[in-house]
Structure 1
């Protein structure tokens, strides 16, 4: 049976557009700079140098956040250079997790990647040029400036939201609720026409907690023309059980969970993370919401 809400609250990253793919391209650009022309050369231990963005993503989890969406990019580049050096650290040196931890610890300690002694003859390991970390970080930033592509069904959903709002502007409202960095989101907004009020009455950029969801719902209640504003029916659509579904459930919202590539299809760890609906694609939201 279709749901007839007074308000729709949509997540942005990896719900409407494929932010994960954009970050993969950015990590790949960083790796290419660090590997230079020798990217396919075998490591001293017989393994190939860093070839996938997966390792770079996991390295980022071992480094402190710079206050934005992850670690300082030059630190991340140096950690990757340590990882790619072929050296090991700790008693479990043969285990990749240990190597990830060791590489991040070198950066935390303020060390430079190995092999940067200019007096040393012969070919230097990747990352030994101290300016290369800066170049790798810039390559990451440049790749990240490309607008992320809309996910399957997102364009249809946005058009549906637009028509749904226009039909009853006094009783229907829509909100984009994101934790993303404003400068990066602005790229997506410009590319997909999000910021001009075409699809959303409000854009909220805050950490997602039950309290912030309550604030959003309170604002929605004041925006729609209902005898009892607190009775507004709010539907939330997101790709993360922890970041979207759990805090929305705590606020009494109807929740639509649409798994994406970043987190995969998660399993609820508690009743608080159980969505009301699980979608295969955003096209299914059109049917559930009768848009």
Structure 2
């Protein structure tokens, strides 16, 4: 980029910090309760607990959302217990996708897993919540980028602004904010918690244009950094932002499915943005 931008918009989960690792620990804690104290014991079909944590994520995609970031945790625990019970359902019962669907259908129908009462599901759900309350670690390069953003803003506060834009649940994000000093204003002028769409990106860009001291606010050079081509890069491209894509563990290194998802730059680690943006 020839010039330093007027505004920087960063995603939070799996861009600045490793939310995916925190959720993996939470799923592991739930599975440990469902399998008993010995978390390494084999399931009836021979699969280990570590592999089952990935199944929990897939099960969550088959259950209705409770209005937050996924399904009701007690429902998820019950579905996992059905999946792990060794029972099968349907003519394609040996296929994992069919097992996932069957387990979620049992929960939707209000059934209880064999040998599992409601207190068991509540205990598993609480183990998940407790593990999720631990602050997520910063990803490689995040601390360097945050320090660079702070220095960049301080040098020209009238012409530079930074925004954290996230779809995460406020209660969970607050844990990360407190752990990493995000909410105190030293790194970001604004924190936006909304669904990421072209319209919400336009709203953010409009607010940025009014915040920086330019004769033509619409001419503000805005850079967006995120880990998802669909949730971050595509809507940011639609609003004319410069986009930096930093692949993470959750989605992996994605391939653009259309020109609308093509980032301007792809990063190996977040601190590479310091050079690209001349911060």
TM-score interval, normalised by the smaller of the two chains: over 0.9
Inter-CA distance 191–118: structure 2 relative to 1 (3 Å threshold): closer
Question: By how many angstroms is 1:83 displaced?
Answer: 0.5
Deviations 1:166-187 (A, max 9, x none): 0000000000000000000000
State the TM-score, normalized to the length of structure 2. 0.96
Inter-CA distance 143–38: structure 2 relative to 1 (3 Å threshold): closer
Question: By how many angstroms is 1:3 displaced?
Answer: 4.6
Deviations 1:195-223 (A, max 9, x none): 01110000000000000000000000000
Question: By how many angstroms is 1:48 displaced?
Answer: 5.1
CA distance in 1, matches of 2:107, 2:25: 23
CA distance in 2, matches of 1:167, 1:154: 20
Inter-CA distance 87–215: structure 2 relative to 1 (3 Å threshold): same
Question: By how many angstroms is 1:115 displaced?
Answer: 3.5
CA distance in 1, matches of 2:59, 2:271: 35
Question: By how many angstroms is 1:47 displaced?
Answer: 4.8
Q: Count residues in correspondence.
A: 278
* Native 8 Å contact 1:30 1:77 kept in 2: yes
CA distance in 2, matches of 1:117, 1:169: 58
Question: By how many angstroms is 1:116 displaced?
Answer: 5.1
How much is the aligned-residue C-alpha RMSD, in angstroms?
2.0
CA distance in 1, matches of 2:236, 2:174: 25
Structure 2 regions of 5+ residues with no counterpart? none
Runs of at least 4 residues of structure 1 off by over 2 A? 37-52, 115-119
* Native 8 Å contact 1:165 1:174 kept in 2: yes
Deviations 1:133-192 (A, max 9, x none): 100100000000000000000000000000000000000000000000000000000000
Inter-CA distance 279–230: structure 2 relative to 1 (3 Å threshold): same
Question: By how many angstroms is 1:43 displaced?
Answer: 4.4
Inter-CA distance 220–113: structure 2 relative to 1 (3 Å threshold): same
Q: Which has the larger radius of gyration?
A: 1
CA distance in 2, matches of 1:210, 1:156: 29
Question: By how many angstroms is 1:283 displaced?
Answer: 1.5
CA distance in 2, matches of 1:49, 1:203: 37
* Native 8 Å contact 1:2 1:287 kept in 2: no
Residue of structure 1 in register with 2:235 after alignment = 247
Inter-CA distance 215–102: structure 2 relative to 1 (3 Å threshold): same
CA distance in 2, matches of 1:170, 1:43: 60
Inter-CA distance 284–42: structure 2 relative to 1 (3 Å threshold): closer
Inter-CA distance 204–116: structure 2 relative to 1 (3 Å threshold): closer
Structure 1 regions of 5+ residues with no counterpart? 120-132
CA distance in 2, matches of 1:169, 1:93: 61
Question: By how many angstroms is 1:51 displaced?
Answer: 4.3
State the TM-score, normalized to the length of structure 1. 0.92
CA distance in 2, matches of 1:289, 1:15: 17
Inter-CA distance 90–235: structure 2 relative to 1 (3 Å threshold): same
What SS does the aligned partner of 2:49 have?
Answer: coil
Inter-CA distance 244–53: structure 2 relative to 1 (3 Å threshold): same
* Native 8 Å contact 2:224 2:241 kept in 1: yes
Residue of structure 2 in register with 1:227 after alignment = 215
